[in-house]
Amino acid sequence: MDFQKFLTGDVFDAYEYFGAHLEKGKAAFRIYAPNAKKVELQGDFSGWEFLELKAGEHPGVFEYTVSDVQAGMYYKYRITDAHDRSVMHCDPYGMLMELRPGFASRVVDRNYHFDDLKWMTNRDKNYNRPMNIYEIHAGSWRKKEDGSWYDYEELAEALIPYLKEMGYNYIEFLPLSEHPADCSWGYQNTGFFAPTSRYGSPAQLKKLVDACHQNGIGVIMDFVPIHFATDDYGLLQFDGTPLYEFPHPDTAYSEWGTMNFMHSRGEVRSFLQSAADYWLTEFHFDGIRMDAISRAIYWNGDPARGVNERAVEFLRNMNAGLHKRHPSAMLIAEDSTDFPKVTAPTEYDGLGFDYKWDMGFMNDTLRFFQTAPVYRPYDYHKLSFSMMYFYSDLFLLPFSHDEVVHGKATILQKMWGDYEFKFPQAKAFYTYVYTHPGKKLNFMGNEFGQFREWDENREQDWNLLEYPVHDAFHHFYAKLSNLYLTEPALYDGEYNQNCFEWLEVDASDYVTYAYERRASKETIVVVMNLSDQFWKDFQVGIPMLYELEELLHTDWECYGGNTKKTDLTWRVADEPCKKRPHTLLVDLPPFCARIFKVIKAKEVIRRNAKEAGL
């Protein structure tokens, strides 16, 4: 490691120098604590006697080499500051920690052979490929009969078949880096290089990722480069001074009661971007979703306080470096602001993310479906508004854990009306999501109609699948999800404006919409009725004389609806409609969506504009 670059914030592999490193039965321990008076090490290898570290070759570095060290051994540091106050700490660069409430770091044997060469060779950023992400909290997806967690390997064995059945080709884990409080869901970290020991060892996590790749499933990890936990054994006042955090209270504390990283410090930049590189390099993660990016763009996330220029600079430099080192890995921003060029390349003054969560789409769509039908004509364009700005960034459509906790209600529960009205609306809702441009993300449990808000201490309510209406919804979701994976028109070229066109977006009285998705010489037509009325032979103008195949109808009996698959409740007429030369006439039950695929298209030449309906 180039130490000068470490100080200037240009290092991405600080974990290769700092931390505990095994070699031939010995371990070299290195720690950065420039303002410490003394640093001591204790562990299994010393009988928990303290060993005083020596000043290293670089300023602020303390190091010690210990014999007879084995993988799995526990250790801690005691750091004495300039005022002779001593505090016990875990290793900031430690690669494993003991299970909470303990905080000792553990020595790790990093050797592991991946068998995912084919996956890694063919991997890319998925701009023109489908990306259907299942967001999961590892500790509460399922639990064992005794209430304990699955370990990483056991999780892989149960999870991978389910993902394939449900049409998910990516999984995103809530943060797996070590954290002291279960209730933080992993977002308040103390071990930025340590996979949480709740679910096993680093080697077991590598086996999970490896198994996913061998089954055609990508793995994304949530990463928190904005703030850290305030536990005194972590990064807080690490060497007796604010080494990682801001020194001033008005900027030091986040809204979550954690400490904000001071991104203007080179050592902090090197620490964070090395952590990001570590997960991508060591574990073969396919992407990193970076949490709370708005809190880096603006001071404490408040646009009124202005742009945090040094933090923005950090994001640009980190993303540029990660792209260079991992050209096929994805960097995803959770950002709710309208800050420009979040997904533009850094060479064009962008932040360099590959995708940005479309929080506006999520909020507008959910609010619309929460609205009573009588008011939906007035909110009609709330649902279509997303296409007014969609091409300003590369968006991902998220319906994440944040939308199903803290009194917000689950996705199904958010749907307007009583129990029997919620399911048809949820089917229409997800049809809109999956046929709208943008990559997809859905939190666990949403796919079978979870009613209870998510609780990190309880597994999902899988017993709901014993009820026919939930089972039917589950099968519908799997069909829709797999349809998305197999129809290129639903993903190829989705960031190209020529691949989407509204066919009907001016029918507020009917609360009905229609649009086309086009790509790879294929066309998909979607028609939705989001009112509580039945519309017979609703007319949609289409550009050519289409021969259609219906791919999915949310009201089919097999998915809990009232329409038989054999019923022909649509037709195409060679008659003009709303300035288009042909008409699709389609029956639309309340709260329904229908997906058609164009099998053949014939262009009919009209003699004059009147014949064409223009």
Residues designated as active site? 291, 334
How many helices (H) does the chain have, and how many strands (E)?
A: 15, 29
Q: What is the C-alpha separation between 283 and 112, in angstroms, rounded?
A: 10
- C-alpha dist (Å) from residue 8 to 34, 68, 225, 239, 311: 15, 36, 18, 19, 14
- C-alpha dist (Å) from residue 405 to 228, 295, 423, 449, 450: 22, 21, 20, 15, 12
Is-contact 333 352, C-beta < 8 A?
no
Identity of residue 62: F
Is-contact 351 310, C-beta < 8 A?
no
Is residue 76 helix, strand or coil?
Answer: strand
Q: What is the C-alpha separation between 567 and 268, in angstroms, rounded?
A: 64
Is residue 146 helix, strand or coil?
Answer: coil
Tell which residue, 513, 536, 521, 498, has the closest CA to residue 598.
521
What is the residue-wise DSSP string for 271-317? HHHHHHHHHHHHH--SEEEETTTHHHHBGGG-GGG-B-HHHHHHHHH
Where do we find the tokens 């009907």? Answer: 504
Is-contact 257 228, C-beta < 8 A?
no
Strand partners, 535: 588
Radius of gyration, CA atoms only, the chain = 27
Print the SS3 string covering 92-127.
Answer: CCCCCECCCCCCCEECCCCCCCCCCHHHHHHCCCCC
Q: Encoding tokens for residue 434?
A: 């999956």
Beta strands in 457-573 (DSSP E): 500-504, 512-519, 522-529, 535-542, 545-553, 570-573
